[in-house]
Structure 1
Amino acid sequence: MTKTYGDHVTVAMDGHVAVVTLDRPPHNFVSVDFMRDLADALEAVDADGQARAIVLQSEGKTFCGGADFSASDDKVASGMDGVQALYAQAVRLFSVETPIVAAVQGAAVGAGLGLALVADFRVAAPEARFVGNFVKLAFHPGFGLTYTLPRVIGQQRANLMFLTGRRIKAEEALAWGLADEVVPAGELRAAALRLAREIAENAPLAVISTRKTLRAGLAEAVKAQTAIEHREQALLRETEDFKEGVRSVAERRPGNWLGR
């Protein structure tokens, strides 16, 4: 039986694994409502108690393209109040108690990278790309990434990703610990499910207890960090460079920066 949350999130059980699928074509761009529906779904999985692990997967070529700043009708794209509401949902996602395995088939960009880091593990296809390209938008990282990314790959590699906006390919992500396994695209979902089942076959109370210790204070740290990120983003959003950044990324060209 499949349960639906909002228009773009479904949950199906496979034994003791909940398979959560995101389907907001073509790029699974984040929005406040979309992330609220996902948080509702994951919290429902927690509350039900049947699932001992979660697979988080998405339809299409892109795992999650982050925020669509070219969409003027989107709450996140159109103002900082929407961004703040998005980050409230991010804190909910990081508060989920059931272990999560993400299946990353394509690009995880910006807030999409943040979403991938909600998971405990990331199984990636060779085509996967991990991107924190905020500076190419003349913007500041968000979704708690300035806390979560260094926690996974170390401060220096996080510095490199954030200050260059570089696209990290799957094999490099594997070497860095940003991905835990790289498998052919056709085997991606099966590999993610296999890892989730490996978690789920263990004593559930012990798994949750151990995970709580390993992730102690994570949701609270994300909440504190998103407040800082939001403040910096609000300042940068008012600059001429930000407007140019949105244009240049949409036009696939380097930005013509003015420094104001």
Structure 2
Amino acid sequence: MSHVAYELSDQVATITITREEALNALDPDVLSELETAVDRVAADRARAVVVTGAGRAFVAGADVARMSTFSVAQARAFSSLGNRVFRKLELGAPSIAAVNGYALGGGCELALACDLRLASDRAVFAQPEVGLGVTAGFGGTQRLARVVGPAVAKELLLTGRRLKADRALEVGLVNAVHAPDELLGAALALAEEIAQQAPAAVRATKAAIARGAHTDLDTALGIEVEEFASCFETADQREAMAAFVQKRPHSPFQDR
């Protein structure tokens, strides 16, 4: 791949967007390569994934030069591609965005598609699309409100204002802020911590949160019951609970 690097180490995948000359801006080619990387995460059965950008940007947005000449049909196809790729990321292994710099437009949306977000203290977030005559196109109008609430989301989406890392932490857009040279290490450590847990239980937890988020509480609790019970089909559950009762360390989880 020309603009996306993929690494796998100890069941943790790292995806790095490497289009540094364009501040990692997303165009159809980059999105296609990103989809290939996300598919590899699934094929490798990675237990967690870190997404980051090379250089001084996470992703500085979609490629405006490419978009500027789009027809309506091309715009629809571009938005659909981005949404498909980001949805795959969202539904896959637990994901952590290590936001090392600019996360503007599509970059902010890529971070939002991840389960957790860690930021460098130099990171800047924004959804500036209205200043370009368009809406957010890769899920920003939907995920941002779900993460920070409708009022803050509307403020950002309707004004295009930028948020620095400290304010992003205040409004709940990121989970933590780190010094630039500590960011990737912190993201990898968090990914490794998740990867050490029982994979089926992690998947069931993600599913319960996702399925229950947009329904009533009674239905959501029923979903949790289903996901909880499903874990009792696994050898990992039996071994972990037996070890707990016997007061010994459990064997490494085998995802079975």
Q: Secondary structure at the match of 2:20?
A: coil
CA positional deviation for 1:212: 2.0
Shift of 1:105: 0.9
Match of 1:216, SS state, is helix
Aligned 8 A contact 1:17 1:52 in 2: yes
Aligned residues: 208
Asked if residue 78 in structure 1 is aligned to residue 74 in structure 2, the reply is no
Q: Indicate yes or no: 2:29 matched with 1:33.
A: yes
Which of residues 157, 160, 182 is equivalent to 2:155?
160
Q: Which residue of 1 aligns with 2:218?
A: none
Given that residues 129 and 170 in structure 1 are in contact (C-alpha distance below 8 angstroms), is that contact kept between their aligned partners in structure 2? yes
Q: Name the SS for the 1:113 alignment partner.
A: helix
| C-alpha displacement of 1:8 | 0.9
Is 1:23 aligned to residue 14 of structure 2? Answer: no
Does structure 1 retain, via aligned residues, the 8 Å contact 2:86–2:138?
no
Code of the aligned partner of 1:208: R
Tell me how far 1:66 sits from its aligned partner.
1.0
Q: Any idea what SS the aligned residue of 2:156 has?
A: helix
Which residue of structure 2 aligns with residue 195 of structure 1?
190
Assess, with a 3 A threshold, how the Cα gap between structure 1 residues 217 and 85 changes in structure 2: closer, same or farther.
Answer: farther
* 2:174 is the counterpart of 1:179: yes
Secondary structure, counterpart of 1:108 in structure 2: strand
- Tell me what 1:206 maps to: 201
CA distance 1:91–1:207, change in 2 (3 Å)? same
SS in 2 for 1:149: helix
**Contact 2:6 2:16 (C-alpha < 8 Å) held by counterparts:** yes
Relative distance call for 1:138 and 1:38 in structure 2 (3 A) is same
Q: Distance in 2 between matches of 1:137 and 1:93?
A: 22
Alignment of 1:57-68 (within 5 A): 57-68=52-63
Cα offset, 1:206, TM superposition:
1.1
The residue matched to 1:19 in structure 2 has which SS?
A: strand
- The CA RMSD measured in Å over matched residues stands at 1.6
Q: Distance in 2 between matches of 1:133 and 1:202?
A: 38
Determine the C-alpha separation between the residues in 2 that align with 1:85 and 1:40: 18
Q: Residues 169, 25 of structure 1: CA spacing in aligned structure 2 closer, same or farther, 3 A cutoff?
A: same
**1:104 matched residue in structure 2:** 99
Distance 2:75 2:5 in 1: 24
**Structure 1 residues 43, 217: CA separation in 2 closer, same or farther (over 3 Å shift)?**
farther
CA distance in 1, matches of 2:110, 2:170: 20
Gaps spanning 5+ residues in structure 1: where?
Answer: 1-5, 219-260
Distance 1:153 1:23 in 2: 29
Q: CA deviation at 1:116?
A: 1.1
User: Structure 1 vs Structure 2: percent identity of aligned residues?
Assistant: 38
Aligned equivalents of 1:81, 1:60: Cα separation in 2? 33
- Report the alpha carbon displacement of residue 81 of structure 1 after superposing the two structures with TM: 3.3
1:88 aligns with 2:80: yes
Instruction: Return the offset for 1:140.
Output: 1.7
Tell me if 1:48 matches 2:41.
no
Question: Structure 1 residue 87: deviation in Å?
Answer: 2.5
Higher relative contact order (CA 8 A, sep 6+): 1
For residue 210 of structure 1, give the secondary structure of its aligned residue in structure 2. Answer: helix
Aligned to 2:225: none
In 2, the alpha carbon distance for the partners of 1:183 and 1:92 equals 27
